[in-house]
Amino acid sequence: MRSPRTRPAAVLLLASALAAFGLGPAATPAAAATVPVGNGSYSDTRPAGTSGPTTNTGTPVTPKVTSAARSRPVPTNDWWSSLAFQRYGDNPWSTPMYGHPLTYQATAGGLDVGYPTSPAIVGDGRQYEYAHKRDLTIGLTGLNSPDTKADDWSDWTVTPLWSDGTRTLRTTIGHGSPFVYAKGTGGNAQITTAGAPTVFADQGNVLGITVAGHHYALFAPSGSDWNVSGSTVTAGLGGKDYFSVAVLPSTGALSTFAKYAFSFVTDSKATWNYSGGTVRATYTLTTEAKEGSERGTLQALYRHQWLNTSDALTSYTYVSPRGTMKVREGASFSTSQKASAVLPALPKSSGVDAARLRGYLNDVVNASDPFSGASDTYWTGKALGRLAQLVPVAEQIGETGIRDRMLNLMKGKLQDWLAAGGANEFSYDKDWKTLTGYPASYGSDTELNDHHFHYGYYVYAAAIVAQYDPAWAADSAWGGMVKTLVRDTANPSRTDSAFPFLRGFDVYAGHSWASGHQGFAAGNNQESSSESTNLSAALVLWGSATGDTSLRDLGTFLLTTESEAIAQYWFDADEQVFPSSFGHDTAGMVWGSGAAYATWWTANPEEIHGINVLPVTGGSLHLGGEKAAIRRNIAEMERENGGPAVEWRDILWEFQSFADPASAKSKWDAGNGGYTPEEGESKAHTYHWISTLDTLGAPDASVTGDIPTSAVFTKGSTRTYVAHNHGSSARTVTFSDGKTLSVPARSTASGTGAGSEDPDPDPDPEDPPTGNVFQLRGGGVLTTSTGGTAGSDTIPSAGGTNHDGTPYQPLVYEARGVNGTLTSGAGTTFRLQVDAGTTVGLGQQARISYDLTGDGTFDRTETYNYFATDPVTGWEEYSQARGLRSSTGTLGNLKGGTVRLEVWSAIGNGSSKLQTGTDKSVVVIPFS
């Protein structure tokens, strides 16, 4: 969550709006304090003694928007929220806003703009920042506005407005936009630079300047002329009211950017579609031609986007806190991703002892207070989530009595909250158009923080109830209020007058934001990304259980998109985002300006590494897609912690089970009796989770089913296919590798699948392989299995620096648990297919290491001379014939050992490709 976990801390909805979202009849027009929704209700007035949004000194605030925007719900938790939420009374403009690649801050004189390109390491090395630093201010001559208000917004753009009574300025800014589009009246265009600019191009109404090492282009209407006087650059607008400014990737890009200078963006919109295990999304900008007829534009894609698009990109790039951004020439682009899996629970397996599990379940259901004294929205939600995970588990071992007792506990607590007038209730704020639960916590009331974190637990619990009691979930019963919570946190409608579109989810950034006011120099932030995906998984389950495919597909889009963002920006899965100077393998918090190895409430490494894992549910399976990152993450936690986890051991055992189930099981076996579960966990769930994955293997994200509630697990060469069918009739689920699974109505089924032969077994690297020839597979795997699907991994550029003999951002492939007898007189051999395309001067290098006993220490390391690739597209073979450059240690027999291959660019200034999934890229070890 966004705030410390341990610190103290009259509206009428139109009938048409309610009917549009299936919420049943609206309240009759009356000044009632309670608005009924089915069997539930909410209040239109806050409980006595409570507060809504305030400044930091406790003064109540309303949205800081123009009269034109007053009727629109403000998407509070966004990258630009400080424009609308005045958290600090002495700052009526904004705090720094991080659009990427540009950064912004509203001031009295206009819009400060920067392009931070060098990270700073702060907080004793625990945070990296590309902090906002003004390069220039976009304004009008004489502008001195007393405040700045939000005038318009769309999915990832916003238009702030300044007015001082004489002059009026509007600018449109957004994620991925290298342009700032300005409209002004009452004065000339004025650009004030942080220092005297260097002019590199002067074409009258087009001016190229360099400020603080960054290149900008200024565009005034045709017939105008820019005038430079010291640090002030002005242009008359010649009766027009528009001009624009762009940050350039290079001075040579000026002509390309000039083409789109007057194609002003007026709207941004994301659309999505789920079908057959794949999520597709399209991101579209609407433009208006201020001059000429050009309607195209340029937009910079984040890493999570360009990794998943096949659309053509230019050679232009930008620096950002999220790694390299790549530029698309065009008004739209699309992405395609394999959908992240969601299950109500892991399936029944032979690894779980029913008697032992029954004892753990009884400990929970027979507790004197199953809700552990929780009274506020957050801790009540966690308690609901703890019970929700156990309902399907109890059913698996035939404990229907325990199942039903838990369901009744959940129903009772949910109904307490979903009906106004008691000790707990939800209250609607007509100014901020939000639903706040009271008692509130962690600023969910005064700062509008964390609604997606808190309410996600309620929706998840309601989805489990709906799985067993559809009548309870009907709109006319309790489902209407559940949907109202959904509308507050993840409203799919842009036309709903009562709640904003996707309140906290930033569709372009690919993840949610937690702060409602964004009142920080570092921008907005999100700590517990996993509690954000908990809401998305809850939407998948709720939509599936209630037959609402629209909400189901929304949840699948949100979960799949955010899972990639989490992998890249919280876990740095490809090791291409965090600056090398940061020195950490994970971030507890992501900020607009960067990321921090921290939490809001503690510096304990266990919580830093665990906060983006909990709650562990059937919606957490996406974490298993990046096994190498998990191993790095756990290793760092234990280094920083001075040993294995002590406080949050259950969360971190479960996290490790996504990559190395056997290792997690051994830790559980050694320590399960003497620990206190994390507040949202139970020994019943942890035991079931770890034992099941130890039996089935880790999640296999390479294969998807054709419904969102399906998943695949791989152990050795065996895949287990799992699906839950919420429907009222049996169905067959088809997986992307051709296997099928018959699933009865309202049931979970699992099996090894029927149908075509599995083309890509992709064994989990924890399992002992057989043979001595290892293929490379995507995701960092060496495997003795054959029949893989041909693919490739990208070898990062050497960056123009010589790395001969020293791995630099290497691709790493491993096989663990390897047994073998050393063959006397034999040596390591390999053949690797590499391709530099048409890039000249590249050289790839390989190192092969042996940890003979699997204790984490490599006993033998062999580094081979690099291979100079040609600049002709096509695979070339790099082998041990290039010669051994250096070696350390000696070989011996392998006993549960590890074999590691590292491949990197030793020289050159471009990336290259390494073939995977074929018998043409293999390592042959000298063992039998």
Catalytic residues: 450, 527, 531
Per the CB < 8 A criterion, the answer to whether 845 and 804 are in contact is yes
Nearest of 811, 785, 777, 779 to residue 796 by alpha carbon: 811
For 383, phi then psi, to 5°, come to -65, -40
DSSP-derived secondary structure for 883-908: -EEEEEE----EEEEEEEEEEEEEE-
For 708, phi then psi, to 5°, come to -65, -30
d(CA 804, CA 885): 10
Per the CB < 8 A criterion, the answer to whether 111 and 180 are in contact is yes
Q: Which residues contact 811 (CB under 8 A, 6 or more apart)?
A: 780, 793, 795, 902, 903, 904, 914
Fill in the amino acid letter for 844: Q
d(CA 454, CA 547): 24
Backbone region of residue 893 per phi and psi (left: phi > 0; alpha: psi in -120 to 50; beta: other values): beta
Fill in the amino acid letter for 636: E
Per the CB < 8 A criterion, the answer to whether 503 and 513 are in contact is no
Q: Can you say how many angstroms the Cα of residue 673 is from the centroid of all Cα atoms in its chain? A: 35
* DSSP conformational letter for 705: B
For 661, phi then psi, to 5°, come to -60, -35
DSSP-derived secondary structure for 109-171: TEEEEE---S-EEETTTTEEE-----SEEEEETT---S-EEEEEE-SSEEEEEEE-SS-EEEE
Q: Taking the alpha carbons of 557, 560, 563, 568 in that order, is the dihedral positive or negative?
A: negative
d(CA 415, CA 40): 7
Please count the other Cβ atoms lying within 10 Å of the Cβ belonging to residue 639: 11
d(CA 845, CA 803): 9
Please count the other Cβ atoms lying within 10 Å of the Cβ belonging to residue 801: 12
Please compute Rg for the chain using Cα positions: 28
Nearest of 93, 88, 254, 75 to residue 157 by alpha carbon: 75
Two tokens, residue 720? 């287990």
Cross-strand pairs, 150: 65, 160
Fill in the amino acid letter for 394: A
Locate all alpha helices (DSSP H) within 233-306, ordered by sequence: 254-259, 303-306
Please count the other Cβ atoms lying within 10 Å of the Cβ belonging to residue 412: 10
